[in-house]
Amino acid sequence: MIKQIAPADPLLAYPTQLRRLEAAQGGGVALRDGHFVADDQHALVMLATRSSPFDATDQAPLQAAIEAAFAEVDAQSGGRLVLEQSGVARFALAAETSMREDIGRISTVSLVGIVALFLLMFRSPRLVLLSLAPLVAGVAAALAACLALFGAVHGLTLAFGATLIGVCIDYSVHLFNHHMLDPRGGPRQSARQIWPGLLLGALTTVAGFAGLAWTSFPGLREVALFASIGVLVAALATRYWLPDLCPWPQSQVGCSGGPRPGWRGWSRGCDAGARRWRCCRRWRWACAWSACRASSGRTTCGC
């Protein structure tokens, strides 16, 4: 045997691994009353499920049943027992639970920050709610499409898909900003003006998400369909639905609401500040050049 494996394993690491495996198998595992017992202290129970270990729908109730049964037995034994578990299903369930909690926490913090920023910019709760209308339409359409095609929607697909569709909040913000800066023609005219760029951005986003549909992993295919349908519907809702919900008249010279004057004043203030900055920068360069010339002249005369 050594002669056969020596050319491929000159350090003879394979026989060492065999001896370690043999020593590990020679532990104190024994069969007593039809049950496996290790070192007369641990009772070993091995379980196998018909469903996939990554299916949290089946694994979560099983884990809860195991913990409930152990709690009952431990109470009868005076609380001296310890339950130790290992397995792919347990780790997958714990990872999914942790991911759900992280996604919920991050989504909550992000939503609160976005709402606060929108209130600061637009100073109108109605506009904040209207900015979410395309997102709601996109999520609803994506959910319906996934249910029609796959028959069910996984929780992670809904969480990740809704997070990806969240980029569509830029569509309504783009419409509001464009209309506030140039309200001539009303919201519909503003939507027509921004539609080419909006459509191009939506199509490139859909192209990126659609690439996930060719993977062999079913979860990624669900996410690809969910995100693609959601982005397209959100863009169409911004173009054809959101302008009719805006609080401004469809044809106007000035904005009748309160947000626009503040926005225009803020914009004009930024423009004036930029002009002052450029002017001051030119003066600073001129003063610096004059100081250098004067210093050079004094140095020359001193020599």
Average confidence (pLDDT) over 252-264: 43
Cβ–Cβ < 8 Å for 173, 128: no
Average pLDDT value for residue range 199-207: 92
Sheet of strand 35-38: strand arrangement: 29-32, 35-38, 42-44
Closest to 257 in 3D by CA, of 162, 176, 196? 176
pTM higher than the cut 0.85: no
Q: How many CB atoms lie within 10 A of CB 83?
A: 12
User: Could you report the per-residue pLDDT of 90-126, keeping only the tens digit for each?
Assistant: 888 888 888 888 888 888 898 888 888 888 888 888 8
pLDDT at 260 exceeding the cut of 70 = no
Tell me 111's DSSP state: H
The tens digit of pLDDT for each residue in 127-177 reads 888 888 999 999 999 999 989 988 888 877 887 888 888 888 889 889 988
The percent of residues above 70 in pLDDT, for the chain, comes to 74
Please say if the pLDDT value at position 279 is more than 70: no
- Answer yes or no: are the C-beta atoms of 28 and 38 closer than 8 Å: yes
CB 202 within 8 A of CB 174: no
